Amino acid sequence: MAKATELKLDIARIGTVSAILMQPDNARACYVLAHGAGAGMRHASMEKIAAGLADRGIATLRFNFPYMENKQGRADQPAVAHAAIRAAVEEAARLCPGLKLVAGGKSFGGRMTSQAQSKAPLPDIKGLAFLGFPLHADKKPSTERAAHLGGVGIPMLFLQGTRDGLADLGLLKPVVEGLGAKATLHEVEGGDHSFAVLKKSGRTNEEALTEVLDTLAAWIDALG
């Protein structure tokens, strides 16, 4: 059974945002889970991920970026996003002493987490997991957004749908290979940027999400 606790997260010199800790009784790790650019921490997809990980013995700390908390249209500047992530990581360490800590999240949230890590290591974080790394804008293939990943010194897991319009696998695969043994790419066959699959694929969105969460949990368990 997992307990969801509503929290307030103070970000130095920026303000306060909402957060939710979902912690199962048997938690062995905590994933600091940042949301994507278009939907906040309470979006149904974030709820499903948190609940699914709780079922697998992994706690999550979700939080809103300031722009989402304040209902502003545009995503925060990187420095603000990085500060929010650092505050969330510190809070996770305080609330979940003794648990293995990992960080990352969906799309924009995952990319901001890897940027923050590349600038200065996030304390106690053992690895970064990306739920759809946004390598480029839709229909604008490029690898510029991956340039900072070389500065990340901890293991990284890229969970990517093969139909992801924001990550051409022909570009992402060489990026991940170039990062060496610390980076792992798991392809979700037929999944889009949110891991949704087409009906004709013969499987459901729930089955695709189960694959994502099983893979993520196994990777977390294998971290040193």
Q: What is the band of 73 on the pLDDT scale with cuts at 50, 70, 90? A: confident
pLDDT at 27: 97
DSSP output for 65-85: -HHHHTT-SSPPPHHHHHHHH
Which residue type occupies 33?
L
Kindly tell me if the per-residue pLDDT of 180 is higher than 90: yes
Tokens of residue 45, six digits? 């997809």
Tokens of residue 188, six digits? 């979700």
Q: What is the 3-state secondary structure (H, E, C) of 204-216?
A: CHHHHHHHHHHHH
Q: What is the CATH number of the domain that holds 133?
A: 3.40.50.1820
pLDDT at 178: 98
Q: For tokens 């004709």, what's the residue? A: 200
3 state SS of 85: helix
pTM value is: 0.97
pLDDT at 224: 82
* Structural domain of 191: 2-222
Number of domains composing the chain: 1
CA–CA distance, 22 with 4 (Å, rounded to integer): 4
Mean pLDDT of 146-155: 98
